[in-house]
Chains A and B, each alone.
Chain A
């Protein structure tokens, strides 16, 4: 490709990532592992890919956007909701596993600094993998799901602190005072950045985004511009790209349309993060890791047994039952994508060598692969462990009533809704339909892309574009009684009818023009609202009232 090496590189990366992910799917290997394997093939194994400057930038953008996305999930309300158990459980787990992990590594002959680094890097669990699998199983609203999510979010905050430390260290002062100064500067910068983010989330961003709100294209670009401006600010203050992106996300998370924004950013993350993980695989040196196989093996066993054990000890002390603690523990038995990021940063800061990077990579690869199988079968594993009496050691109280399905709170506007009617498009027709259904005491969920159109609409509401399957999922479409679309957008309506067909949910679609009818019938919409004909009928009545006939 003349003048376009970037296309060639990205092409190789994405095609191999897609092939590996597709092959990994029936084996239930998470996509992240598949990407790294693809990278291993392209780099160390075949040497097909030389990572150029453009690809390097793309993978950096990937991490930044991932942190931005994690920040977007952290509304202040969510932080409050998860409360004590998350904070205590999360910090105790991270602290103890970091120390124990470091002790093991030190015992196996690593120098103290590297051992500590390794311990910290392995103490985090993977937000992306866990959230994805829990969502897939519909377990996010269960008590153990909520606790896991809370612990992961606390870990994310701790990661940010650690990243700040490491990037403070990366500037390289080897004397203790230098280091302390660096840390002070880093923390000062962090304080400043947090202040900016909080102030912006209160005074600057709401009016600005309210004003631009009309077009979702502009909203996306504005939020990305905000994200990268804060990244620049972070870099300027000597902080990490990750921290800037994360704070930018939190600041935007307080806006009313943060759910929609998250869904819009998610595909970008998926694209760039694939590049990041493949590149990571390219940089890995598995041969080097195999040289340290006793260390790697010991730490893999550590991550998969000791980390769950810590949670099994801590969570019951905070007033939860054995089952909840065990399921949460089993869910968190892997290392995190941040372990890799941290390792990469540690390498460039000279804190660890290439070899240790490979060890961390290998541990991540194995634990993520094994634990996703574990998560998908966690209930069975728990039952078996219990039957064998393996859990008696932890002396956790047996299941109390409060441990079952969590009542109230929950996630998303459709939480707890069942047999509801989803009404898409809050134009005059949609609003009338919602009113009519509410007069009949039916639970409704109104959906529109424009938050201002949802203002004053009764029942539950959701901001989002229904072209996106995730929006329908958060509307609880699988549990809905009926979906009604009042939209006057042909493509969106066709897609809704198609999706309702595949999910086996009846739907009534606005056939706003005679031209859209044949396609909707072919797709198999349950019912069509022919508004114009209905209007004509009413016109006829009005003419009768004028005394035109009769």
Chain B
């Protein structure tokens, strides 16, 4: 009980500091655990139990998120980016580890640890920035899912490498068997059971935990690492509505065990030596320097414009909670030493702490200066004048375009999605592909000499340059929040509050009694838009 109280108190302190500094919590949970172990003695057997339980729940919940639908249209891009990043970073990580004179086996573990980026950190950042739904947000999620999957499938291989090919094959065979079982459950069994049984919350939780532990038993029998079993148990629950119904019950448990896991991890670390810190710093540099350009390059080849591509790279440049999982597996299999594990943890600490500073707009825009493909020559074209400029178009902007085209003014549209640009051009409207937050693009599109500018870009902050350079040109900005409307107004723009418009649309539907009849007019309208 005392141990648990101490770990929870440390975790509470970690969350507090993270909140105070506005940074991701994980590094501070680890720090707090480390601080705890320096000041008080924590029973090692107890830490071991906490780590085992924590890692199980962490991986289990990660498996539940493995829903390919999240990625949607960006599947191909995600596979391309994910694969290349995984292979290149793995190879470079191995080379770097060898150069730092780690032995081959340890280097394999280090390389695998470097390949994964942190789902927990990145998803939180995308949420805060409300970018989960931008196409690059989907791309990043896809890459993260792919990395998690790759790590989980490679752990059985890596842990069995020293025992030779037959053993590896057995491990892979066992894992694949569990994959098949999980898929059968996911596809045919669990959704049906959920519908038939309609369990209350207590029983639902218990049933889910029983599934988890059954997978753990099975993986033990098959000689598959427990983390792979836990992850696949989660995967079996990842389809809608099963994952949604289960999530509410599992959230508290996973929050609790995850917090305990990171503090226990910190508490079981030794004091790092200067050599370990140096090695970790070198490996962290590999991650931070290689990931952004690599991801940016491939993302751009897959059709993304410069800023989202660069931003994706910056977002992904940290190691993951899964890197810690890899390290712990190595330690438990007695294939790497405690010192290597310390190095992995340090790399994770350094890169995760750096992420909020790296993944910010100013740095992304600053980096665009080094972009090799910036075609400054195109700017030689005389920018349009007296036109209607539409920034950010999207599917929902199409009806507006159709109205504008009928009018007498010249219309120019800007969007960063190549598919949208294509559609706009097909509709016979001038279109520029690019980033509406980029000053030189705004100039090229004649934002300062237009008759009127209409902005529907997703993030309000991206209108800053536009509003600064617009001068007397009227600027209409579509915003959702009342606070954002104030922000726009303060900078001389005219906000168009679409939450208000949507509320009116809803009340209209409500007044027509739409909720009593399943088919409503509003629905038909939407059909046309689609």
Residue of A nearest to B217 (CB): A11
B476 at the interface (CB under 8 A from A): yes
Residue of A436, A519, A535 near B498 (CB, 8 A) is A535
Residues of B within 8 A of A323 (CB): none
B52 at the interface (CB under 8 A from A): yes
The CA-CA distance from A484 to B497 in the complex, in Å, is 19
Interface string of A51-90 (1 = CB under 8 A from B): 0011001001100100000000000000000000000000
A232 at the interface (CB under 8 A from B): yes
Binds B, one of A96-104, A137-145, A174-182, A213-221: A213-221
Residues of B within 8 A of A171 (CB): none
A401 at the interface (CB under 8 A from B): no
B9/A229 in contact, CB under 8 A? yes
**CB-contacts of B385-424 with A (<8 A):** 388, 394-397, 399-400, 403-404, 406-409
Residue of B nearest to A491 (CB): B244
The CA-CA distance from A215 to B49 in the complex, in Å, is 27
B161 at the interface (CB under 8 A from A): no
**CB-contacts of B355-389 with A (<8 A):** 388
Residues of B within 8 A of A498 (CB): 240-241, 244
- Distance in Å from the Cβ of A463 to the closest Cβ of chain B? 15
The CA-CA distance from A546 to B529 in the complex, in Å, is 25
Contacts A235-B1, A265-B252, A548-B452; is A538 near B53 (CB within 8 Å)? no
A387 at the interface (CB under 8 A from B): no
Residue of A22, A267, A427, A548 near B207 (CB, 8 A) is A22
A3 at the interface (CB under 8 A from B): yes
Contacts A3-B52, A515-B133, A533-B526; is A22 near B203 (CB within 8 Å)? yes
A530/B502 in contact, CB under 8 A? yes
Binds A, one of B286-294, B436-444, B506-514: B506-514
B15 at the interface (CB under 8 A from A): yes
Residue of A214, A429, A490, A511 near B480 (CB, 8 A) is A429
B213/A14 in contact, CB under 8 A? yes
Residue of B nearest to A214 (CB): B19
A546/B474 in contact, CB under 8 A? yes
Binds B, one of A195-203, A335-343, A390-398, A467-475: A467-475
A25/B203 in contact, CB under 8 A? yes
B451 at the interface (CB under 8 A from A): yes
The CA-CA distance from A529 to B39 in the complex, in Å, is 55
Residues of A within 8 A of B69 (CB): 519
Contacts A527-B520, A539-B454; is A271 near B205 (CB within 8 Å)? yes
**CB-contacts of B426-477 with A (<8 A):** 451-452, 454, 456, 474, 476
Contacts A488-B130, A535-B502; is A274 near B515 (CB within 8 Å)? no
Contacts A57-B4, A232-B5; is A517 near B15 (CB within 8 Å)? no
Contacts A7-B226, A429-B480, A548-B451; is A531 near B201 (CB within 8 Å)? no
B5/A539 in contact, CB under 8 A? no
B202/A31 in contact, CB under 8 A? yes
What does DSSP make chain A's interface, helix, strand, loop or mixed? helix
Instruction: Report how many A-B pairs have Cβ atoms within 8 Å.
Output: 323
The CA-CA distance from A57 to B1 in the complex, in Å, is 7
A508/B506 in contact, CB under 8 A? yes
Contacts A31-B202, A429-B503, A548-B407; is A220 near B255 (CB within 8 Å)? yes
Residues of B within 8 A of A218 (CB): 12, 15-16, 18-19, 25
The CA-CA distance from A60 to B403 in the complex, in Å, is 68
B526/A528 in contact, CB under 8 A? yes
The CA-CA distance from A15 to B213 in the complex, in Å, is 7
B506/A212 in contact, CB under 8 A? no
A231 at the interface (CB under 8 A from B): yes
Residue of A228, A268, A467, A527 near B244 (CB, 8 A) is A467
B498/A531 in contact, CB under 8 A? yes
The CA-CA distance from A533 to B478 in the complex, in Å, is 11
Residue of A nearest to B244 (CB): A495
The CA-CA distance from A10 to B226 in the complex, in Å, is 14
The CA-CA distance from A213 to B332 in the complex, in Å, is 38
A549/B406 in contact, CB under 8 A? yes
Residue of A14, A488, A519, A530 near B210 (CB, 8 A) is A14
Contacts A1-B220, A543-B476; is A467 near B209 (CB within 8 Å)? no
B494 at the interface (CB under 8 A from A): yes
A184 at the interface (CB under 8 A from B): no
The CA-CA distance from A432 to B516 in the complex, in Å, is 22
Contacts A225-B11, A436-B503, A527-B522; is A494 near B244 (CB within 8 Å)? yes
Residues of A within 8 A of B87 (CB): none
- Distance in Å from the Cβ of B458 to the closest Cβ of chain A? 9
Residue of A nearest to B260 (CB): A221
Q: Of A10, A265, A484, which is in contact with the most chain B CB atoms at under 10 Å from its CB?
A: A10
A470/B52 in contact, CB under 8 A? no
B101 at the interface (CB under 8 A from A): no
Residue of B52, B200, B407, B515 near A549 (CB, 8 A) is B407
Residue of B73, B201, B252, B530 near A517 (CB, 8 A) is B530
Contacts A225-B12, A429-B499, A537-B501; is A270 near B241 (CB within 8 Å)? no
Residues of A within 8 A of B518 (CB): 526
The CA-CA distance from A276 to B220 in the complex, in Å, is 25
Residue of B199, B400, B529 near A530 (CB, 8 A) is B529
B502/A217 in contact, CB under 8 A? no
Interface string of B214-255 (1 = CB under 8 A from A): 101100100000100000000000001101110111111101
A224 at the interface (CB under 8 A from B): yes
- Distance in Å from the Cβ of B400 to the closest Cβ of chain A? 5
Residues of A within 8 A of B217 (CB): 11, 15
**CB-contacts of A468-498 with B (<8 A):** 468-470, 481-482, 484, 486, 488, 490-491, 494-495, 498
Contacts A4-B226, A482-B515; is A271 near B253 (CB within 8 Å)? yes
A241/B394 in contact, CB under 8 A? no
The CA-CA distance from A526 to B518 in the complex, in Å, is 6
- Distance in Å from the Cβ of A462 to the closest Cβ of chain B? 15
Residue of B nearest to A35 (CB): B206
B504 at the interface (CB under 8 A from A): yes
Residue of B5, B394, B494, B499 near A229 (CB, 8 A) is B5
Interface string of B318-348 (1 = CB under 8 A from A): 0000000000000010000000000000000
B48 at the interface (CB under 8 A from A): yes
Residues of B within 8 A of A267 (CB): 201, 205, 249-253
Residues of B within 8 A of A1 (CB): 216, 220, 226
Residues of A within 8 A of B241 (CB): 494-495, 498, 523
Residues of A within 8 A of B507 (CB): 433, 436-437, 440
- Distance in Å from the Cβ of B59 to the closest Cβ of chain A? 13
A204 at the interface (CB under 8 A from B): no
Interface string of A497-522 (1 = CB under 8 A from B): 01000000010101111111101000
The CA-CA distance from A357 to B174 in the complex, in Å, is 46
A21/B203 in contact, CB under 8 A? yes
A534 at the interface (CB under 8 A from B): yes
The CA-CA distance from A543 to B210 in the complex, in Å, is 60
B395/A514 in contact, CB under 8 A? yes
B68 at the interface (CB under 8 A from A): no
A18/B49 in contact, CB under 8 A? no
A536/B396 in contact, CB under 8 A? yes
Residues of B within 8 A of A437 (CB): 507, 510
Residues of B within 8 A of A467 (CB): 244, 247-248, 251
Residue of A18, A214, A225, A428 near B481 (CB, 8 A) is A428
- Distance in Å from the Cβ of A61 to the closest Cβ of chain B? 7
22 CB < 8 A contacts A-B: A7-B213, A11-B216, A15-B217, A18-B203, A22-B207, A57-B4, A220-B255, A228-B9, A267-B253, A428-B481, A467-B244, A468-B248, A481-B515, A491-B243, A491-B244, A528-B526, A530-B502, A534-B505, A536-B399, A538-B501, A540-B399, A543-B452
User: 18 more A-B contacts (CB under 8 A) besides A232-B5, A469-B245?
Assistant: A31-B206, A54-B49, A212-B15, A217-B255, A218-B16, A218-B18, A226-B12, A229-B5, A271-B209, A428-B481, A433-B506, A467-B244, A495-B247, A515-B73, A530-B396, A539-B456, A539-B496, A540-B399
Give me the 3 closest cross-chain CB pairs, A-B, nearest first.
A535-B498, A549-B407, A11-B213
